[in-house]
Amino acid sequence: MFEKLFMTPQDPLLKLINEFNTDKRTDKIDLGVGVYRNQKGVTPVMNAVKSAESQLIKNQDSKSYLGLAGDMEYLDLMGHLVFGGIRPKKSRFAYLQTPGGSAALRLAGDIIKRSTPYTRVWVGLPCWTNHIPIFSAAGLKIETFNYYDRENGHVDFESVMMATTNAQAGDVILLQACGHNPTGVDLNLEQWKCIAQQCVERGLIPFFDLAYHGLADGLETDLSGLNIVMDIVPEALAAVSCSKNFGLYRERTGALYVMTPSSKKAEVSLTNLFELARTSYSMPPDHGAAIVRLILRDAELRQDWEAELAEMRNQIQLTRMQLAQGTGKHNLSFIKDGKGMFTMLPITAEQIARLRKDHAIYMAANGRINLAGLPQSKFDKFISALDAVLA
C-alpha cells in the first residue's frame, strides 16, 4: 500500500525554521516564523494564561468528554467578544470549538462543500500559505485575485472589487478581519463598506479568518470590518483562532461560527458540523479553551490579558514605525500604514538569499517579515544588512 506514496514537498516555512535552527551564527535573526516574540526572543506564556492554568490544575476534577461542541461557556464568551455588536442574531449562529483556527477553516470548507458542492471560494493573493491547501483538501474550487499592490504597499482594491463582481451568487469570499497575513495591509472602513454592499447585492458569502484579533489596532477596532459586513449580510462564516492573541499556539484553541438566515438553518447546520467533526478529530482538545474561558469570565484575569496583549501590540507597532523610517538609502514609509505582526519588504529572492547567507537573517521567500521577530537589540544590524542588500 505505502509503495504508492511519493514524498510531498516540505512546507517552505518549516524548511526555513530547520535552516535557522541549524545555523551556528550567534547573531542570527529569525523573521520567518509567524509567532509573537518578546524582546528576549521568547514566545511567552501570557501571565493570565499561567494564572488560569494553575486554577485549572487546582479545580478541574474530571477529564471526561465534553461533547462535540466543546466548551460551551468558552464559545459563548468568545462569541460575545467577537460578535458582541450583533448579539440579537445569536439564534441564527451555529458554532463549535475547534482545534485551532486551522480546523475551523477546514470544517468551514467541509460544510460549504457538503451544502453547495460547486461553490467557489475567492482567495486574495498573497494569502496565508495554508489557505489554499485547506480549501483544496475540502474539495472546493478556488478562485484567486490580487489583494496586494506590491508596488505601492497597499490593498489592490480595484482587484478586490473586480473579484466581487466576477463572483457568482452563493460564492464565498475569504476575508482576513485584521492584521493580514502575509502583507500586514488591511482594508479600510470605506473598503469594508463597499465589500459589505457587494456581498448583499451579489449574494456573496463572506468568510472571515480571525487569527490576529487584538494584534492590529486593538480588540474593538480590529472587528470594525467584520461588524460592518456581518451587520448587513444574511449569511457568513468566521474562523477564530486563539493561537496568537492568547499565545496558545500548541494548545490548538479555536472556534467556527456560522451565521445562517434563520434559527432553523442554524440548527441544521450545527448537526452537519457535528457530523463532520465527529468523522475527523471528533472532539476538540479542552485545555486551551478552558484557559480562555477562565480569562474571559474573570474581570481581573481579563484585564491582565488585555494589558499584556496591548504590550505585545505596542511592541510590534514600535518596530513597525522604526522600520518605516527606512534604511537611509531606501524609503520604507509605506510600512507605517500596515497593521499587525507582518509586513512585506520590497525585496527580491536573490536579496533574501543574500540576507540569509551574508547576514544570518531569515525571512519567508515572498519577503514577509514578522515584526515581532525583530528585537530592539538587533534592529541596527537588520537595518544595515537591509541597506547593504537592497538595490
Ligand X SMILES: Cc1ncc(COP(=O)(O)O)c(C=O)c1O
Nearer to ligand X, 360 or 374 (CB): 374
Residue from 20, 30, 32, 34 that binds ligand X (CB under 6 A)?
Answer: 34
Contact of 269 with 263, CB cutoff 8 Å: no
Under the criterion CB under 6 A, does residue 181 sit at the interface with ligand X? yes
Q: Single out the segment in contact with ligand X by CB under 6 A; choices: 65-73, 214-222, 241-249, 309-317.
A: 241-249
The minimum distance between CB 354 and ligand X, in angstroms, equals 27
Q: Single out the segment in contact with ligand X by CB under 6 A; choices: 89-97, 100-108, 153-161, 191-199.
A: 100-108
How far is it, in rounded angstroms, from Cα 114 to Cα 252?
25
Q: In the complex, which residue's CB is closest to ligand X?
A: 100
Under the criterion CB under 6 A, does residue 257 sit at the interface with ligand X? no
Block residue for cell numbers 460564492: 171
Contact of 170 with 180, CB cutoff 8 Å: no
Residue from 122, 128, 147, 148 that binds ligand X (CB under 6 A)?
Answer: 128
Active-site residue list:
128, 209, 244
**CA-based nearest residue to 181, from 315, 312, 343:** 343
133 preceded by cis ω (within 30°)? Answer: no
Residue from 102, 164, 269, 317 that binds ligand X (CB under 6 A)?
Answer: 102
**CA-based nearest residue to 292, from 70, 41, 37:** 70
Under the criterion CB under 6 A, does residue 176 sit at the interface with ligand X? yes
Give SS3 for 372: helix
The burial class, CB within 10 Å (0-12 / 13-18 / 19+), for 72 is middle
Q: Single out the segment in contact with ligand X by CB under 6 A; choices: 94-102, 114-122, 364-372, 376-384.
A: 94-102
Under the criterion CB under 6 A, does residue 241 sit at the interface with ligand X? yes
The minimum distance between CB 267 and ligand X, in angstroms, equals 27
Under the criterion CB under 6 A, does residue 370 sit at the interface with ligand X? no
Residue from 227, 243, 260, 269 that binds ligand X (CB under 6 A)?
Answer: 243
Nearer to ligand X, 175 or 266 (CB): 175
Amino acid of residue 270: L
Residue from 101, 206, 284, 340 that binds ligand X (CB under 6 A)?
Answer: 101
Q: Single out the segment in contact with ligand X by CB under 6 A; choices: 12-20, 98-106, 113-121, 221-229.
A: 98-106
The minimum distance between CB 100 and ligand X, in angstroms, equals 3
# of chain residues touching ligand X (CB under 6 A): 13
Q: Single out the segment in contact with ligand X by CB under 6 A; choices: 8-16, 96-104, 227-235, 354-362.
A: 96-104
How far is it, in rounded angstroms, from Cα 11 to Cα 363?
14
The burial class, CB within 10 Å (0-12 / 13-18 / 19+), for 264 is exposed
Residue from 32, 70, 79, 100 that binds ligand X (CB under 6 A)?
Answer: 100
- Chain residues that interact with ligand X, rule: CB under 6 A: 34, 100-102, 128, 176, 181, 209, 211, 241, 243, 249, 254
